[in-house]
């Protein structure tokens, strides 16, 4: 089911998912180019062809893509917070740059684009939990609107020009190589602060429920999407199980054997209370299932953070 | 139900719907500013405060909007054909300019935005005919993706900033003041060519089915949307009835008492075979129904074209 993609380029290779994906691809023997603006873990990309460039620079993008058959599009230039503060900037960096990517890919004869969309924000406040792919898409963040627009343009490019694609609406991934950014990567933030014995600010009251998925399971899904021969285009990638932030905190406290120091702050308007996605489609069509339990994923993540100090 | 909007500005006032809307607003006693890049019928806008400016110029837009409570957003800078040829240009002119409009409207305290979206392209190839507002939105044209993105940003601005709005997904409007553009305004094109005794090129085989709605019914819906106090935001505005192009041609031939000279051309990939929208929601929530029969609308349109020669 999961076969090795022929020759691939990872856009956004310097980040969390990108680093993990490149390492997996190299280990599986694939020829892989790692494209990114900055690389958080350059030494971890050994065996990949590292190409430094900006996603919003069409000339760099075209030079990097030429000769590659599968494009993994993992770039998100903004965060849910920053996108809402500058929606036009978000459209320019995310949507317009992705349209340039589509045009370049078509011109260069790319065989498939695998796009990482967001299972966490694309549905907005969903009526059905866990939320299936067919649910209405009413994001309450500009970040989600951009992801949705890119999905629609992918479908349009296939319709008009035959450019093949798959979309993975990934829930909340966590694991090694995730560095907490402002308002993102809560598990990484909790673990790293705890190990440094520092306090952490958290928005909301801890009742927010999310679908946390361990990164190796996401990488499996990306590989499966790259070789999928079905007629399906959009897949939720999560666990189908929700965890409140308080449960996450308790689980980390159990594994670390210490109490986390938390400063609670008022909730943010871009947060939906509950986001859990249904993953039956990926199981049925891709033969993909998440294999790592939450506790096991936590253990690996904690182990990775410990190995860094 | 249909009350006079307090003080309003029509963006895209120089075009087909804009000219009709401004005339109706002036006749109803409203204070109305007509904003547009060019005005097809400047003399028809008597009584309106004509303000020439480009929708993509935020300074002009802000100067024009200041002091107005209701904004009618009727601008579409591109057509389904031109948008597909230059998708990035379409995003810039439609989506980015609309985001600037939202920001300006919020800053200036605009009370409501009424946005004309497209009932004809936003659903794509729909499974349910007539298509309700709740149907999936999978456009097969960049024009449709842009309209969808603007709808999503309107919802987002209300969620984040309380900016009130209504969206009308208008089917295929026709009537006086519609000037045929390339690939748009088929009824206007058929009538004007016939009266000039010229032939006309038509893409497809005439089996394409559309939901044609007479312009005064669209204007009634715009007025109703401006004063609506419901919690509903998106309304289909059409007749709920489909007509093939061949039926339209036959109806025009009957009224004109002459045979149209048609050159048939291959179909375009942006055309869905059938587009008919369900309008129960507008009837129930806005108390709006289309009042003009297709034949009556044709008669008025033909009369208008005859009066021009």
Tens-digit pLDDT profile for residues A195-219: 999 999 998 899 999 999 999 999 9
Phi first, then psi: what are they for A55, rounded to 5°?
A: -60, -30
Cα separation, A122 vs A164, in Å, equals 22
Residue B196 buriedness (CB in 10 A; 0-12 / 13-18 / 19+): exposed
**Would you say residue A5 has pLDDT above 60?**
no
How close is the nearest chain A Cα to the Cα of B100, in Å? 8
**Pairwise CB contact (< 8 Å): A142 & B136:** no
Give bridge partners of residue B263 from the DSSP assignment.
B201
- Judged against a pLDDT cut of 80, whether residue A2 lies above it is answered with no
Question: Furthest-apart CA pair in chain B: how many Å?
Answer: 56
- Name the region of B99 (left: φ>0; alpha: ψ -120 to 50; beta: rest): alpha
Q: Where are the domains of chain A?
A: 7-173+213-238+277-291
**A chain contacts of residue B88, beta-carbon cutoff 8 Å:** 96, 99-100
Task: Provide the sign of the torsion angle of the four alpha carbons B27, B30, B36, B42, taken in this order.
Answer: positive
Element (H, E) at B23: helix B16-27
A7-173+213-238+277-291, what's its fold? Rossmann fold (3.40.50)
Interchain pair A138, B153: CB under 8 A: no
Question: Given B96, B159, B269, which is nearest A88 (Cβ)?
Answer: B96
* B123 included as an active-site residue: no
pLDDT on residue B1:
44
> What distance in Å separates the CA atoms of residue A123 and residue A29, rounded to the nearest whole number?
36
Task: Verify whether the Cβ–Cβ distance B95 to A100 is below 8 Å.
Answer: no
Residue A81 confidence (pLDDT): 80
Answer whether residue B195 shows pLDDT above 70.
Answer: yes
Chain A neighbors of B149, CB-CB under 8 A: 95, 145, 148-149, 152
Average the pLDDT over A7-35 and give the result.
Answer: 96
Confidence of residue A3 (pLDDT cuts 50, 70, 90): low
Interchain contact, B159 vs A269, CB within 8 Å: yes
Q: Looking at residue A182, what is its pLDDT?
A: 67
Q: Please say if the pLDDT value at position A259 is more than 50.
A: yes
CA nearest to B123 within chain A = A152
Catalytic-labelled residue, pool B143, B157, B165, B212: B143
Mean pLDDT within B199-226:
95
Query: pLDDT at position A8, please?
Result: 96
Through-space distance between the first and last CA atoms of chain A, rounded to whole angstroms: 38
pLDDT bucket at A295, cuts 50 / 70 / 90: very high
The confidence score (pLDDT) of residue B3 equals: 56
Q: What is the pTM of this model?
A: 0.94
pLDDT at A270: 67
Beta-strand relationship, B234-237 and B165-170: parallel
**CB-defined contacts A:B, below 8 A:** 73
Q: Please state the ipTM of this predicted complex.
A: 0.92
Per-residue model confidence as pLDDT tens digits over B25-64: 999 999 999 999 999 999 999 999 999 999 999 999 999 9
Mean of all residue pLDDT scores within chain B:
94
A153 closest CB neighbour out of B87, B136, B155: B87
Beta strands A70-73 and A49-52, pairing class: unpaired
CATH fold for domain B7-174+213-240+276-291: Rossmann fold (3.40.50)
Got the DSSP string for chain A? --PPPSEEEEETTTSHHHHHHHHHHHHTT-EEEEEES--S-GGGGTTSEEEE--TT-HHHHHHHHTT-SEEEE----S-HHHHHH-HHHHIIIIIIHHHHHHHHHHHTT--EEEEEEETTTSS-S-SSSSBPTTS----SSHHHHHHHHHHHHHHHHHHHH---EEEEEE-EEE-TT--PBTTB-HHHHHHHHHHTT--EEEES-S--EE-EEEHHHHHHHHHHHHH--SS--EEEES-S--EEHHHHHHHHHHHHTS---EEEEPPPTT--SEE-B--HHIIIII-----S-HHHHHHHHHHHHHHH-
- pLDDT at B5 (0 to 100): 52
Q: In this structure, is the dihedral angle defined by the CA atoms of residues A233, A239, A240 and A245, taken in order, positive or negative?
A: negative
């Amino acid at each position: 089911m999961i076969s090795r993609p022929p020759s691939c380029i990872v856009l956004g290779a310097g980040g969390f998912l990108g680093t993990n994906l490149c390492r997996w691809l190299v280990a599986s023997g694939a020829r892989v180019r790692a494209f990114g603006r900055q690389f958080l873990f350059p030494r971890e990309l050994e065996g990949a062809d590292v190409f430094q460039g900006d996603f919003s620079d069409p000339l760099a993008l075209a030079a990097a893509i030429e000769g590659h058959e599968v494009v993994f599009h993992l770039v998100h230039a903004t965060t849910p917070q920053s996108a809402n503060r500058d929606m036009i900037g978000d459209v320019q960096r995310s949507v317009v740059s992705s349209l340039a990517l589509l045009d370049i890919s078509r011109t260069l004869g790319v065989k498939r684009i695998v796009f990482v969309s967001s299972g966490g924000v694309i549905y907005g406040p969903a009526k059905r939990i866990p939320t299936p792919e067919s649910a209405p898409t009413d994001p309450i963040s500009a970040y989600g609107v951009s992801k949705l627009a890119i999905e629609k343009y992918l479908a349009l490019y296939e319709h008009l020009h035959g450019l093949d694609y798959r979309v993975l609406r990934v829930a909340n991934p966590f694991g090694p190589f995730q560095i907490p950014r402002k308002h993102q990567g809560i598990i990484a933030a909790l673990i790293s602060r705890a190990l440094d014995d520092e306090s952490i600010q958290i928005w909301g009251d801890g009742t927010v429920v999310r679908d946390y998925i361990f990164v190796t399971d996401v990488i499996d899904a990306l590989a499966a999407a790259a070789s999928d021969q079905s007629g399906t285009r959009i897949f939720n990638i999560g666990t189908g199980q929700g965890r409140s932030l308080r449960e996450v905190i308790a689980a980390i406290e159990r594994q670390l054997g210490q109490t986390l120091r938390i400063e609670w702050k008022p909730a943010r308007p871009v947060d939906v209370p509950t986001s859990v996605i249904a993953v039956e489609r990926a199981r049925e069509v891709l033969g993909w299932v998440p294999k790592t339990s939450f506790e096991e994923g936590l253990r690996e993540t904690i182990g990775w953070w410990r190995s860094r100090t």
